[in-house]
Amino acid sequence: QSALTQPASVSGSPGQSITISCTGTSSDVGAYHFVSWYQHHPGKAPKLIIYEVTNRPSGISSRFSGSRSANTASLTISGVQAEDEADYYCSSYTTSSTVVFGGGTRLTVL
Amino acid sequence: QVQLVESGGALVKSGGSLRLSCAASGFTFRDYYMSWIRQIPGKGLEWVSYISGNRNTINYADSVKGRFTISRDNVRNSLYLQMNSLRAEDTAVYYCARMTTSTDFDYWGQGTLVTVSS
């Protein structure tokens, strides 16, 4: 149950687009359509922003989008805003019927 | 609206036990898988365990298997985590979360802090 691999940090200026990668294996990210992304502001409850690789829950801005290629999933935030500064985590269901999270990525808005 | 409220976090000595609770409201509790997820201070999220609505399906992370037990009461709309043989590395904020059929977590509680002193 090794954690999925994410960059520790990314940054961008307001209005820019940023992408966060999430690399796993054929036993997790590449196995099913069950990859999700969470936004976590410290001290608050994490929020689901992408589910089933590409879908946005109701109320989540269209600036957030998800994709996947083989064993790597990606989260793109288009037109980054100050309020997007947070930690972002990917997660995936696995072939062992467990769930694995990424190590998290801190987004800094410059 | 969906609400999840955890309780039971405390300071406990290594080797000790603790039971966490999560009170759920605003949805039909028995229809959903529920899960515990933790965040070690300064680190990322780690999935701990999940349980199906009818309790027939349960799974644990390797790091807690044999020490933690998840359970639920569908009458009281409550989720529990019995934690035994606690270790310093179990120190974390523990979140209760609702799990969808897509295996994502669409609602989370605010978390409860467990501190294990060595």
Q: DSSP states of A24-70 as a string?
A: --TTTTTTSS-EEEEEE-TTS--EEEEBTTTB--TT--TTEEEEEET
Residue of chain A nearest B50, judged by CA positions: A98
8 Å CB contact of A45 and B109 = yes
Sequence-distant (≥ 6) Cβ neighbours of residue A59 within 8 angstroms: none
**What is the rounded distance in angstroms from the CA atom of residue B45 to the CA atom of residue A90?**
10
Residue of chain A nearest B6, judged by CA positions: A45
Please list every residue in chain A whose beta carbon sits closer than 8 Å to the beta carbon of residue B44.
3, 87, 89, 101-104
Per-residue pLDDT tens over the stretch A85-102 = 999 999 999 999 999 999
Closest CA–CA distance from residue A101 to any residue of chain B (Å): 6
Give the tokens for residue B36: 């515990």
Report the percent of chain B where pLDDT is more than 70.
Answer: 100
Per-residue pLDDT tens over the stretch B99-116 = 998 899 999 999 999 999
For residue B30, give the amino acid letter.
R
Chain A residues with CB within 8 Å of chain B CB: 1, 3, 33-34, 36, 38, 40, 44-48, 51-52, 57, 87, 89, 91, 93, 97-104
Please list every residue in chain A whose beta carbon sits closer than 8 Å to the beta carbon of residue B98.
none
Per-residue pLDDT tens over the stretch B51-96 = 999 999 999 999 999 999 999 999 999 999 999 999 999 999 999 9
Beta bridge partners of A86: A107
Please list every residue in chain B whose beta carbon sits closer than 8 Å to the beta carbon of residue A46.
45, 95, 105, 108
What is the average pLDDT across B16-20?
Answer: 98
The count of residues in chain A is: 110
Q: Closest Cα partner for B73 from B87, B50, B90, B54?
A: B54
- Residue B42 has a pLDDT of 87
Beta bridge partners of B93: B39, B113
Please list every residue in chain A whose beta carbon sits closer than 8 Å to the beta carbon of residue B63.
1
- Residue A87 has a pLDDT of 97
Q: Is the pLDDT of residue A1 over 80?
A: no
Task: Provide the pLDDT confidence category of residue A66 given band limits of 50, 70 and 90.
Answer: very high
Closest CA–CA distance from residue B51 to any residue of chain A (Å): 11
